[in-house]
Amino acid sequence: MPTNVKDLLAEANAAVPKLSPAEAAERMRSGDVLVVDVRDPTEVQQSGRLKGALNVSRGMLEFRADPESQYHNPEFRKDKTILLHCASGGRSALAGKTLQDMGYTSVFNIGGFKDLAEAGIDTEPA
């Protein structure tokens, strides 16, 4: 059982498949994916977000993803592919593992915002 952040990240990275920016862009073009930015709102305000991404801070993810929660966001559907990113890939790995634990089956870590934006994925102001 994980006992520290390093162990939690290792477990999450082993469980959640990681896509390159090119693979992420291809999935995004194919449609029927939910791109979730798990950075805090202040981070998103400073840098913008991937075009069409839903910002759900890491601390609210479980509440937004659980259909039984009063805070549920209906964009979270278990039949949809979910692409997660943060600033560098750590929080998105942890978020992906959490979603898997909640029964989501098609979950991918697409890494950090800067790398994705530099790879040419469209961004927009927050």
Pair 115, 21: CB distance under 8 Å: yes
Cα(22)–Cα(119) distance, rounded to whole angstroms?
A: 7
Buried/exposed code over 83-101 (b: 16+ C-beta within 10 A; e: otherwise): bbbbbebbbbbbbbbbbbe
Cα(116)–Cα(101) distance, rounded to whole angstroms?
A: 26
Residue with tokens 């915002």: 113
pLDDT value at position 53? 97
Q: Please, which pLDDT band fits residue 46 given cuts at 50, 70 and 90?
A: very high
Buried/exposed code over 40-70 (b: 16+ C-beta within 10 A; e: otherwise): beebbeebbbbeebbbbbbeebbebbeeeee
So what's the architecture of 5-119 in CATH? 3-Layer(aba) Sandwich (3.40)
Segment 43-64 shows an average pLDDT of 97
Segment 32-60 shows an average pLDDT of 96
Q: Please, which pLDDT band fits residue 24 given cuts at 50, 70 and 90?
A: very high
pLDDT value at position 3? 86
pLDDT value at position 126? 86
From the CA atom positions of the chain, what is the Rg in Å?
A: 14
pLDDT value at position 108? 98
Q: What is the pTM of this model?
A: 0.95
Segment 100-113 shows an average pLDDT of 98
Domain ranges of the chain: 5-119
